Chain A
Amino acid sequence: GQQVMQIPQYQHVQEGEDFTTYCNSSTTLSNIQWYKQRPGGHPVFLIQLVKSGEVKKQKRLTFQFGEAKKNSSLHITATQTTDVGTYFCAGYGGSQGNLIFGKGTKLSVKP
């Protein structure tokens, strides 16, 4: 079945450093979504990318969707302690509604 892989699994950074997480799908995706989950919390939708090669920015966060629509990345510039959490990418599987999540990248930020 379709798989969504994310690397790295963990990332520890000093506050002010940049952070990137990468997402790869075994099949072409119609779209990719990114979520953030704080410790003990629930996934919160960040953004959705639909077009091949699409790049979207949200303040210090930059999201990219690959040309082949099989990979994506999330880059955070100058991390802050409020960025702590696990970042998940997700794409739709064979049937609509069936969101397939990557295992996430857990980000910790040292002040």
Chain B
Amino acid sequence: NAGVMQNPRHLVRRRGQEARLRCSPMKGHSHVYWYRQLPEEGLKFMVYLQKENIIDESGMPKERFSAEFPKEGPSILRIQQVVRGDSAAYFCASSRALADSYNEQFFGPGTRLTVL
């Protein structure tokens, strides 16, 4: 049973370009979460999605960032017009149902974004 998959694992972009990060949840999981981790920092929640719905995007910057989880295919985190401050590791997690005391989140290997 494959775990959470993320690609690419490493992504280099120049300032002003777009970055697209993909996440395929574990089989049978319909809930996806995106987190950002700056160097030497903890993970910061960005957005929580179910299929075709954004449930909670309270941690997402208001501009340049968007996320989707279509009916078919992976979840996508899109960062438009990247800036150096966007350089970070972006982790995706998935759960079978709403993650709470009884449903664990499983993390993917992350995408390390470097903005030159």
Contacts and interface: CB of A to CB of B under 8 A. Distances in A.
Interface string A68-81: 00000000000000
Interface string B42-53: 111100100000
Contacts, number: 69
B101 A31 contact: yes
B63 interface: no
B98 A42 contact: no
A28 B85 CA distance: 33
Interface of B: 31, 33, 35, 40-45, 48, 55-56, 58-59, 91, 95, 98-101, 104-110
Contacts of B98: 96-97
Chain A interface residue bracket vs B: 20 to 34
Given A30-B100, A42-B91, A95-B58, 16 more contacts: A6-B42, A31-B100, A43-B43, A44-B107, A45-B104, A48-B101, A92-B99, A95-B55, A95-B56, A96-B99, A98-B45, A99-B43, A99-B45, A99-B105, A101-B35, A103-B42
Interface string A85-99: 000101011011111
